[in-house]
C-alpha cells in the first residue's frame, strides 16, 4: 500500500476518533453500553446484601419452597395464603387508608423471596424474586447478551456511530472539508470506518467485560476461580469479546453503507432490525444474509428454549443449523468486506447538498 495513503488514513482516523469518542451525540452510546452494567451491578449488590436476611427469614418459614411461593395468585385470601405457605416470616407494614386495610407479607426459602400485598385480606399483588445460581446466571448472561445486548444495544449503538460518520458531517455542514482535501474518497471512507469500529468495539467490549466481572462478583471466590481456571471462564469471556467486536464490524459496515445512500437512517434501522429478528424462521439460504446468524453461531453458551417462553422471544432464540466457527467468522468478514467495498465505490461519486438536510 502506498505510504502516503497510510498516513492519510491515519490522519482521517485520528480526526474521527475524537468525534466518535467525545462528540455530544456519542453520549447515548455510553448510556446504551452502561445500562446492562448497571443492571448487573444492582443485582450483585442486592444479592450480596440480602443473602443473610433471606437466610434468617427462611429459618422462620419452614416448609416454604419456591414452587409453593409461585402458586400465590391475585385474588387469593389471607387464609388461603396462610394455608399454602404458613405464617409469614415478616409482616412489613400494616396501614389503613381510605377504609382499606393493607398488609405486606414476606416469605423466603433462603434463596428466593416473595412479597404479598394484601388489601382487605385479599391478594392485590405479588413480587417474587427468584434465586440465582452460578450455572443459571451463566445462561442468563448469555441470554441477555444474545437477545438484548447484541440485538439492541450494539445494534442501535452502531446505527448512531456509523450513520453519523457521513450523515453527521452533512448535518454539521462540514463534509466538504474532506471532499475538497487532496485525498482519495476510499481513504476517507476507510479512515472513518476504522475510527467508528475502534470506538464501538472499545465501548461495547468494555461493557461486556465489566458485565462479566460484575456477574461473578456475588458468587463465592472458589466457584469463580474454578470456572475461570479449570472451567471455560476465559474461553467464554474471550468469545463474548470477540463476538462483540465482530458485531460492531458487521453492523458497522451495514450502517456505514446505509448512511451513504439514504438520508433517513430510520428506514434501514427498522428494516434491518426486523430482518435480524425474523432470522430464526427464515429459509436456510436467506438466513446467511444477516449478521446475527453468524454472531449467534459464535456465542459460547447455548440458551435453552423453555416451553413457556412467549413466541416472539422463542423466535429470537431460534438458531437452527448454526454455522461452524470458521465459516461464521469468514462469512461475517465476507459480508462486511462486500459492504465496505460498496460504500467505498459509492463515495467516489458522492456529492453534497446541505440545503436538503435539516
Please tell me whether residue 134 binds another protein under the rule CB under 8 A. Answer: no
Please tell me whether residue 334 binds another protein under the rule CB under 8 A. Answer: no
Please tell me whether residue 36 binds another protein under the rule CB under 8 A. Answer: yes
Residues 6+ apart with CB under 8 A from 327: 297
CB of 142 closer than 8 Å to CB of 299: yes
Of 57-65, 92-100, 123-131, 222-230: span binding another protein (CB under 8 A):
123-131
Least Å distance, CB 46 to another protein, is 7
Please tell me whether residue 12 binds another protein under the rule CB under 8 A. Answer: no
Least Å distance, CB 5 to another protein, is 31
Please tell me whether residue 42 binds another protein under the rule CB under 8 A. Answer: yes
Please tell me whether residue 5 binds another protein under the rule CB under 8 A. Answer: no
Least Å distance, CB 64 to another protein, is 17
For the chain, what's the residue count? 358
**What percentage of the chain's residues is helix, strand, coil (to nearest 5)?**
70, 10, 20
Site size toward another protein, by CB under 8 A: 43
SS3 call for 170:
helix
Handedness of CA 295, 160, 168, 15 (dihedral sign): negative
If you search the block for the grid coordinates 444474545, which residue do you land on?
146
Alpha-carbon distances of 132 from 64, 113, 223, 266, rounded to whole Å: 17, 11, 14, 39
Please tell me whether residue 160 binds another protein under the rule CB under 8 A. Answer: yes
Of 49-57, 136-144, 330-338, 345-353: span binding another protein (CB under 8 A):
136-144
Please tell me whether residue 18 binds another protein under the rule CB under 8 A. Answer: no
**Other CB atoms within 10 Å distance of the CB of residue 297:** 19
Single out the residue of 130, 129, 120 nearest to residue 76, CA to CA. 120
Q: Binding residue for another protein (CB under 8 A) from 263, 302, 330, 345?
A: 263
CB of 256 closer than 8 Å to CB of 343: yes
Least Å distance, CB 249 to another protein, is 21
Please tell me whether residue 156 binds another protein under the rule CB under 8 A. Answer: yes
Pairing of β 100-108 and β 113-119: antiparallel
What does the binding site for another protein look like in residue numbers (CB under 8 A)? 25, 28, 32, 35-36, 39-40, 42-43, 46, 74, 112, 124-132, 140, 143-144, 147-148, 151-153, 156, 159-160, 167, 171, 263-267, 269-270, 273, 358
Amino acid at each position: 500500500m502506498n505510504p502516503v495513503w497510510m498516513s492519510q488514513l491515519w490522519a482521517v482516523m485520528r480526526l474521527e476518533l475524537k468525534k466518535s469518542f467525545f462528540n455530544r451525540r456519542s453520549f447515548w452510546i455510553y448510556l446504551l453500553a452502561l445500562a446492562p452494567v448497571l443492571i448487573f451491578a444492582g443485582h450483585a449488590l442486592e444479592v450480596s446484601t440480602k443473602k443473610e436476611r433471606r437466610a434468617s427469614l427462611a429459618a422462620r418459614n419452614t416448609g416454604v419452597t419456591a414452587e409453593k411461593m409461585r402458586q400465590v395468585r391475585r385474588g387469593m385470601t389471607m387464609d388461603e395464603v396462610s394455608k399454602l405457605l404458613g405464617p409469614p416470616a415478616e409482616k412489613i407494614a400494616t396501614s389503613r387508608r381510605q377504609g382499606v386495610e393493607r398488609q405486606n407479607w414476606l416469605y423466603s426459602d433462603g434463596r428466593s423471596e416473595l412479597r404479598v400485598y394484601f388489601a382487605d385480606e385479599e391478594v392485590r399483588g405479588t413480587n417474587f424474586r427468584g434465586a440465582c445460581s452460578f450455572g443459571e446466571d451463566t445462561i442468563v448472561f448469555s441470554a441477555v447478551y444474545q437477545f438484548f445486548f447484541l440485538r439492541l444495544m450494539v445494534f442501535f449503538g452502531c446505527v448512531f456511530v456509523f450513520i453519523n460518520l457521513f450523515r453527521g458531517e452533512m448535518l454539521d455542514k462540514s463534509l466538504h472539508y474532506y471532499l475538497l482535501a487532496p485525498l482519495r474518497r476510499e481513504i476517507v471512507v476507510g479512515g472513518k470506518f476504522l475510527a467508528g469500529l475502534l470506538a464501538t468495539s472499545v465501548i461495547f467490549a468494555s461493557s461486556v467485560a465489566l458485565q462479566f466481572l460484575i456477574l461473578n462478583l456475588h458468587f463465592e471466590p472458589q466457584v469463580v476461580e474454578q470456572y475461570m481456571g479449570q472451567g471455560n471462564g476465559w474461553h467464554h469471556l474471550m468469545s463474548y469479546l470477540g463476538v462483540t467486536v465482530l458485531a460492531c464490524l458487521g453492523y458497522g459496515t451495514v450502517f456505514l453503507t446505509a448512511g451513504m445512500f439514504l438520508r433517513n437512517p430510520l428506514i434501514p434501522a427498522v428494516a434491518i432490525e426486523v430482518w435480524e429478528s425474523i432470522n430464526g424462521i427464515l429459509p436456510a439460504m436467506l438466513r446467511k444474509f444477516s449478521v446475527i446468524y453468524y454472531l449467534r453461531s459464535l456465542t459460547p453458551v447455548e440458551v435453552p428454549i423453555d416451553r413457556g417462553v412467549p413466541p416472539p422471544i422463542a423466535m429470537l432464540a431460534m438458531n437452527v443449523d448454526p454455522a461452524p466457527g470458521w465459516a461464521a467468522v469468514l462469512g461475517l468478514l465476507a459480508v462486511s468486506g462486500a459492504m465496505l467495498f460498496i460504500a467505498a465505490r459509492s463515495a467516489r461519486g458522492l456529492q453534497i447538498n446541505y440545503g436538503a438536510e435539516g
